[in-house]
Structure 1
Amino acid sequence: MPLDDLDRALVHALYLDGRAAFNHVAEVLGTSQQTVARRYRRLRADGVLRVVGMTDARRLGLVEWFVRLRCTPDAALKVANALARREDTRWVQLTSGGTEIVCVIRSAQAPDSLLLRELPRTPRVVAVSAHCLLRTFVGGPVGWDGCAAALAPEQVERLTPEPPDPAAEPVADVAADEPLLALLRHDARTSYADLAAATGWAEATVRRRIRQLRRAGVLYWDIDMASVHLGYTVQAVLWLSVRPARLVEVAESLAGQPEVAFVAATTGSSNLVATVLCRDVEALYTYLTERVGRLDAIDRLESAPIIHTVKRAATS
């Protein structure tokens, strides 16, 4: 469905703060609370967007791995669907040719053997490689609003919440919060009253726990939304080999480009991985040749259009 300027402004506002009160959003956008609430309900009901509550793997003592699986064409979708059903996977996608799957998985250890044990038993999975995400420069808990950008800097400032406090006490017993976190993964805008009713906790307890998790950086808000709704019909994953002395320079340059939704340093022969969004194939060509191509510290670039997203930020 096409989004108008107000829809885009609302999406941008929710990228900044997924649980921002509608009266505050309306004030910043210069419209009524009823209009903002009505627009959100329509976008949510039509399956255009969902605000989800996600946890930062590092704060939970976990490591995130960027996993590449090569399959025979007849098996790729079956394997991708099996990966999507796993609670520890995010962003399960098929790349061009339909023979490679890329996904992010959380694990305390390298997931290669674990994946091979739990995936459908088939010889059609011909290769698996896992690359540890060493540092995320944009995406996940490092906020991105890139292609949704519709607000003026002053509006962005008014809607941006306080960042996590590095000095905050570590949150104890996060495992006990799983009933609450599961509800937030499904819909982070669920009211405090409904969260309390579903968990059996007091509403004050729910409010206090969310505040603690947010302040400690364990919990963050994300948007589950297909980029096509913002007019970006081409999505691609890039693997880049960058001279180590200039790795941070290149990563930060990429992170500042609105087309880049995700960029992270990884282990492996390619030490940066990125996901980019472009309006069409011609725009992707221009981006690769005129933006990425001018970064002279990149020694090698591999790119592949993403042809199907099986799972986005949260559980399907």
Structure 2
Amino acid sequence: MRALLPALDVQDQPLVHALQIDGRAPFSRIADVLGVSDQTVARRYTRLRTTSTLRVVGLTDPMRVGDTPWFVRVRCTPDAAGSVGEALARHPDTSWVKLTSGGTEIICNVRTRDRGESDALLLQKLPRTPRVVDVSAHSLLHVFFGQERSLVSKTGPLTPEQVAALTPADAPASRPHEPAAPYPLEARDHRLLAALTQDGRAPLGELAAATGWSQTTVRRRLAELRAAGVLYFDLDYHPRILHHGFRATLWLQVEPARLDTVGRALAEHPEVPFAAATTGATNLCASINTQNAGSFYRYLTGPVASLPGVQHASTAPTHRLLKGPGPLWPQPAAGGKP
């Protein structure tokens, strides 16, 4: 973790690992597991949050709420990729918007709620945008690693005993390979989830005010949504924190009979914060984080080359990250810092 997130103070890393395990864990429980005071934990998180270093966000599994997740690749003329990418980053249904391939291609995640909305965004609006050369969309079929799990989950400093002590009791034991039917949500659920998207650690009182429920009902509903796999908590780092090392997107064409085996193998690699099966000729997509280009080369010619059934591989190095898993970070005032 220290090598992959060098902008984080080494003393913050146990707290960051704890928050990755359970973003809503009480500071008192985190303090007890880490062997520090409640005040120390609260002070460190407040500093990380107020300096726009990281934040806890509450997110939903799109397949559990009936949304369709897509990977969208947009090729632009060199002078347009930045502005198109920033426009996509401002869209509420996008995440992980990044410029790749020297700044001429945009890769992002998009979630749509019906076929008509999908067609409007992917097939009509983007291709008609000036200086957009090509748009391709790949439907996400299955996540092998990602969402509430990250590189911190693999390389964080906490011991297995500490991880077990922090793992929430209402967390699902595992995600089903085949997505279940969409989980029924009512209007107040959507208000609850919208509030958690802005602040995953929002106090119960704020969530009660947003939903009209009592705090007891909010607490119970949070547990139900987490246990059902609808709601999970993730850490959203400011893009400047992730502009270190060498980052790339890896697209693999894998024999269908080997797709699950390869996806599960990628999920175990310490270089992989995200891996998923998709539609398209390249049917497996993974994000790769390494220390430098040399280590990325060794990863491609070693662990990736040894995967069974891989017929083709292509890579797109990340030029600039515009948006992570949560809402777009507030833009700094002119001359100011975020």
TM-score where L is the length of structure 1: 0.91
Q: For residue 254 of structure 1, what is the aligned residue in structure 2?
A: 266
Q: For residue 29 of structure 2, what is the aligned residue in structure 1?
A: 24
Q: Does 1:87 align with 2:95?
A: no
Structure 1 unmatched ranges of 5 or more: none
| CA deviation vs aligned residue, 1:102-142 (integer Å, no higher than 9, x gap) | 11111233835533434495331111111111110011256
Q: Does 1:65 align with 2:70?
A: yes
Q: Which moved more, 1:237-246 or 1:79-88?
A: 79-88
- Whether the aligned pair in 2 keeps the contact of 1:56 and 1:141 (CA below 8 Å) is no
Q: Which secondary structure does the structure 2 equivalent of 1:241 belong to?
A: strand
Q: Which moved more, 1:258-267 or 1:81-90?
A: 81-90
- Whether the aligned pair in 1 keeps the contact of 2:126 and 2:132 (CA below 8 Å) is no
Q: For residue 167 of structure 2, what is the aligned residue in structure 1?
A: 160
Q: Distance in 1 between matches of 2:220 and 2:270?
A: 35
Q: For residue 243 of structure 1, what is the aligned residue in structure 2?
A: 255
Q: Residues 227 and 278 of structure 1: is their aligned pair in 2 closer, same or farther, counting only changes over 3 Å?
A: farther
Q: For residue 115 of structure 2, what is the aligned residue in structure 1?
A: 109
- Whether the aligned pair in 2 keeps the contact of 1:231 and 1:279 (CA below 8 Å) is no
Q: Residues 120 and 85 of structure 1: is their aligned pair in 2 closer, same or farther, counting only changes over 3 Å?
A: farther
Q: Distance in 2 between matches of 1:204 and 1:228?
A: 38
The alpha carbon displacement at 1:229 in A equals 4.1
The alpha carbon displacement at 1:92 in A equals 0.9
How many residues end up aligned between the 2 structures? 316
State the superposition RMSD in angstroms: 2.5
Q: For residue 124 of structure 1, what is the aligned residue in structure 2?
A: 131
| CA deviation vs aligned residue, 1:142-176 (integer Å, no higher than 9, x gap) | 66634651111111111112332789997533443
Q: For residue 74 of structure 1, what is the aligned residue in structure 2?
A: 79
Q: Residues 84 and 54 of structure 1: is their aligned pair in 2 closer, same or farther, counting only changes over 3 Å?
A: same
Structure 2 unmatched ranges of 5 or more: 1-5, 329-338
The alignment-based identity, stated in percent, is 51
The alpha carbon displacement at 1:194 in A equals 2.2
Q: For residue 287 of structure 1, what is the aligned residue in structure 2?
A: 299
Q: Which secondary structure does the structure 2 equivalent of 1:295 belong to?
A: coil
Q: For residue 305 of structure 1, what is the aligned residue in structure 2?
A: 317
Q: For residue 332 of structure 2, what is the aligned residue in structure 1?
A: none
Q: For residue 202 of structure 2, what is the aligned residue in structure 1?
A: 190
1:135-214 equivalences under 5 Å are 135-141=142-148, 145-146=152-153, 149-162=156-169, 163-164=171-172, 171-214=183-226
Q: Does 1:218 align with 2:230?
A: yes
Q: Residues 19 and 169 of structure 1: is their aligned pair in 2 closer, same or farther, counting only changes over 3 Å?
A: farther
| CA deviation vs aligned residue, 1:6-50 (integer Å, no higher than 9, x gap) | 311111111111001111111111111111111111111111111
Q: Distance in 2 between matches of 1:282 and 1:147?
A: 22
Q: Residue type of the partner of 1:192?
A: L
Q: Distance in 1 between matches of 2:242 and 2:81?
A: 28
The alpha carbon displacement at 1:231 in A equals 8.9
- Whether the aligned pair in 2 keeps the contact of 1:82 and 1:119 (CA below 8 Å) is no
Q: Distance in 2 between matches of 1:116 and 1:192?
A: 41
- Whether the aligned pair in 2 keeps the contact of 1:112 and 1:130 (CA below 8 Å) is no
